[in-house]
Amino acid sequence: MQTTIAPPPVGNARVTATSGSPGIPVYIYATVFASFCVITGLIWDICWHLSIGRDGLLSPPHLVIYLGALVSGLFSGYEILRKTFWGNNIEKSFSVKIWGFFYSSLGSLFCVWGALSMLTSAPFDDWWHNTYGLDVTILSPPHTVLILGIIGIQFGAMISVIAIKNQAAYLVGTNTGQNKKRDQILFWLFALSAGFLLTIWYTLISEELGRMQSHRSSYYVFASAGFPILLMAVGKSVKHRWATTAVAGVYTLLMLATLWIIPLFPAEPKLGPILNHIDHYQGFQFPLLLIIPAVITDLLRNRYAYLNDWKLTPILAIAFLIAFFVVQWNFGGFLMESPYARNWFFGSHYWYFGNSPDWQYRYKFGPWMLESTPELLKGLGVAVIASLISTRVGLAWGNWMHKIQR
């Protein structure tokens, strides 16, 4: 397969795209919707495990996840076949050629691969549960296959939007007003798709980022390694002053919505031992305050836009770590210890049905959850290095995505 990210050879020709809303292909909306389905279904599935326990192949959260996989696979697959058999030469020039025959956008390829991976994981996961019982970690082998598929769909949705956005220079709109409206719609589709990707990114490492770990340096090492790479990439991939903030905002709103809505519904444990007797869903987690370092990142990258990426890296990396450490250290302590956090808004009172509700460290830091000052400083030094590497890779990744036109 050959992938070209340079401008397609369309010469002086201009293209009018197949439209769903001004000049935006319908499959773009479908892939973003699919990305939304798979992440909300996954969060619901986590809450299901916290509240009910054993699930089946066709449990409601799984059906929502499968819906996302089917929508992504069908719409993206149809787009590949449409371009291959009925697309004109100009449309094909905006595509990559695979196996010497099929024409597709890069995003559609990721979406189809992600859908196939997700649907393959379903019977694998059911067999795993029947053989080994309930998962004790998020990243069990079948869940790893599932999450890789979800990332494929979400990344495919994001770069599909970027490609359409970058093709604007080759597309003819009816007037300036429609072009501006189209660009705004594409930006928010990008923010949604990237925000859903950030949410699954967080879910992958959420076991290391619970409130109980918020006063350990490992919490900040994982965050510094995991988040700047994506946040810096989305800031670079599209030209918008508040791109990083918008993406972090989507993550925050999605996490809050699921935290506030899912526990409204009744649920009871169906797998022993049951130590915490509940009658409603237990929520997942209050979102990390990534919106704060995201705002600071946008301010700094706009203020120092004239610097090259190597000079910009230490500014953004250190600013991210300082901002994240200050807000999350204090907020993590609030979530862990304050009685004002034990309500529907913050959700600190939610508790797995298999854990004793009277555990003495449920609402306070245990000795193993804390570090001495030298240990903390040493760990934060590692976090600085992780943030520098993650930031630099993220900027390079964003530069690559900014050039995608196929």
Q: How confident is the model at residue 18 (pLDDT cuts 50, 70, 90)?
A: very low
Question: Is residue 259 exposed (0-12), middle (13-18) or buried (19+ Cβ within 10 Å)?
Answer: buried
CA distances from 157 to 30, 168, 246 (A): 9, 17, 16
Say whether both 172 and 278 belong to one domain: no
Instruction: Mark whether 55 and 183 lie in a shared domain.
Output: yes
pLDDT at 137: 59
Judge whether 248 lies within some domain: no
- Least confident stretch, 9-18, 77-86, 107-116, 177-186: 9-18
DSSP state of 1: -
Range in 3-12, 26-35, 117-126, 384-393 with the lowest mean pLDDT: 3-12
Residue 284 shares a structural domain with residue 320 = yes
* CA–CA gap between residue 399 and residue 391 (Å, rounded): 12
Q: Are residues 275 and 373 in the same domain?
A: yes
pLDDT for the residue numbered 127? 67
User: Between residues 206 and 86, which one has the greater pLDDT?
Assistant: 206
The 10s digit of each residue's pLDDT in 287-324 is 999 999 999 999 999 999 899 999 999 999 999 999 99
Distance of CA 136 to the CA centre of its chain: 22
Whether the predicted pLDDT of 94 surpasses 70? no
405 pLDDT higher than 80: no
Residue that wins the pLDDT comparison between 168 and 322: 322
Give the pLDDT band of residue 7 (cuts 50, 70, 90).
very low
Q: Tell me, yes or no, whether 133 and 236 share the same domain.
A: no
Per-residue pLDDT at 17: 42
What confidence score (pLDDT) does residue 136 get? 52
CB 369 within 8 A of CB 215: yes
- In a domain, residue 2? The reply is yes
Report the run of H or E that residue 117 belongs to, with start and end.
Answer: helix 106-132
Instruction: Give DSSP secondary structure letters for 187-214.
Output: HHHHHHHHHHHHHHHHHHTGGGSSGGGT
Residue 2 is predicted with a pLDDT of 41
Residue by residue, DSSP assigns 326-361 as HHHHHHHHHHHH-GGGSSTTT-TT---TTS-TT-TT
Q: Which of 98-102, 198-202, 211-215, 256-260 has the lowest mean pLDDT?
A: 98-102
| 232 and 373 assigned to the same domain | yes
156, 15: one domain:
yes
Q: Final residue of a domain: which of 180, 204, 228?
A: 204
What are the tokens at 182? 């189209």
> pTM of the entire structure?
0.87
C-alpha distances in Å from residue 244, one per residue of 112, 202, 336, 360: 27, 15, 28, 40
Does one domain contain both 229 and 323?
Answer: yes
Q: Is the pLDDT of residue 398 over 80?
A: yes
- DSSP letter at 281 equals P
Per the structure, the count of domains in the chain is 2
What pLDDT score was predicted for residue 134? 60
- What pLDDT is stored for residue 107 in this prediction? 79
- Residue 178's identity, in one-letter code, is Q
Instruction: Say yes or no to pLDDT of 3 above 80.
Output: no
Q: Specify whether 168 is located in the same domain as 236.
A: no
Residue at 366: amino acid letter: G
Same domain, yes or no, for 188 and 220?
Answer: no
Domain shared by 235 and 190, yes or no: no
Is 247 inside any structural domain? no
Domain around 399: 209-242+253-406
pLDDT of residue 4: 39
User: If you ran DSSP here, which 8-state letter would residue 96 be given?
Assistant: E
70 with 199, same domain: the answer is: yes
List pLDDT tens digits, range 27-60.
889 889 999 999 999 999 899 989 988 777 778 8
- Asked whether residue 195 is assigned to any structural domain, the reply reads yes
Residue 7 is assigned to a structural domain of this protein: yes
